[in-house]
Amino acid sequence: MSVNRPMGDSESDPKARRRALDALEEVGVIVPDPDRTYVDPQVKVAAGTILYPGTHLRGATRIGSNCRIGPDCWIEDTLIEECCTVRYSVVEGAIVRAASQIGPYAHLRPGADVGPDVRVGNFVEVKQSRLERGVKAGHLAYVGDAEVGEGTNIGAGAITCNYDGTSKHRTTVGKNAFIGSNASLVAPLSIGDEAVVAAGSTITDDVPSDATAFGRARQVNKKVGPKIEEDANDDR
């Protein structure tokens, strides 16, 4: 994020902030609490969108019609198309396509391109990745340097392991795949259409379409020996 912006922006100059909000309200943007809403003058917002308190719109941001933005969002240099919802989230240098839902507490980093009709939920981070129509990443996932096909579900705790300590590598996931909870996808990697990655797996080899991949140790249950009770009078 940029810092030390010149005077006259939405935070350092209350009059400039008020003028920017007045201009948006004139074209049909709804601002319930202007005293807690911050919009740079160059930001464009279409009619019917609501900017809830705590929203910061910065830089070259463009927001379509009938969106719900906030509360408590930082959105910078980002395109958000119509009918999207973004709550309690940070979105930087990203594209959010129509009818997508972001947050709460999501982070779209530069190069994220999600939607349309995508769900990026609680504590999900997306970086330099394309999430096609209908992808769902509901919570606690990291998607970096990836292409994810339409209709795919990314389970809680799933991550793309995109950095090997020297270079970044890409992960490709096909359409309607299912990535189980706590799966680690070690890039470079390709997962086919309709494939399933079992929960808790570490996947290092490509997965064909319609296959199910397991990358975890077999469960072993062992009997526990009789409990040794210490003598009540033992001073050890």
Both 132 and 194 in one domain: the answer is yes
* Domain stop point among 47, 77, 107: 77
Both 108 and 152 in one domain: the answer is yes
pLDDT in the model for residue 227: 63
* Domain stop point among 44, 77, 110: 77
| pLDDT lower than 50: segments of the chain | 1-8
Q: How far is CA 165 from the centre of its chain?
A: 23
d(CA 114, CA 59): 20
Both 111 and 181 in one domain: the answer is yes
The domain tally of the chain equals 2
Specify the CATH number for the domain of residue 178. 2.160.10.10
pLDDT in the model for residue 14: 80
Residue 194: inside a domain:
yes
d(CA 2, CA 7): 14
Both 123 and 161 in one domain: the answer is yes
Among residues 56, 107, 139, 169, the one annotated as catalytic is 139
Both 111 and 164 in one domain: the answer is yes
Residue 184: inside a domain:
yes
Tokens of 112: 């994220």
Q: How far is CA 193 from the centre of its chain?
A: 22
Q: Computed from CA positions of residues 9, 11, 16, 22, in that sequence, does the dihedral angle turn out positive or negative?
A: positive
DSSP letter (8 states) at residue 68: E
* Domain stop point among 77, 111, 126: 77
Single-letter amino acid, residue 182: N
pLDDT in the model for residue 1: 44
Both 69 and 108 in one domain: the answer is no
Does residue 139 have an active-site annotation?
yes
pLDDT digits 0-9 by tens, 51-84: 999 999 999 999 999 999 999 999 999 999 999 9
Phi, psi of 143 (to 5 degrees): -125, 105
Residue 228: inside a domain:
no
Range of the domain at 161: 98-213
pLDDT in the model for residue 16: 83
pLDDT in the model for residue 7: 42
Residue 218: inside a domain:
no
d(CA 89, CA 124): 10
20 burial via Cβ count (<10 Å: 0-12, 13-18, 19+): buried
Both 105 and 209 in one domain: the answer is yes
pTM: 0.89
pLDDT in the model for residue 17: 84
Both 105 and 173 in one domain: the answer is yes
pLDDT digits 0-9 by tens, 157-166: 999 999 999 9
Q: What H or E segment, with its residue span, contains residue 144?
A: strand 142-144
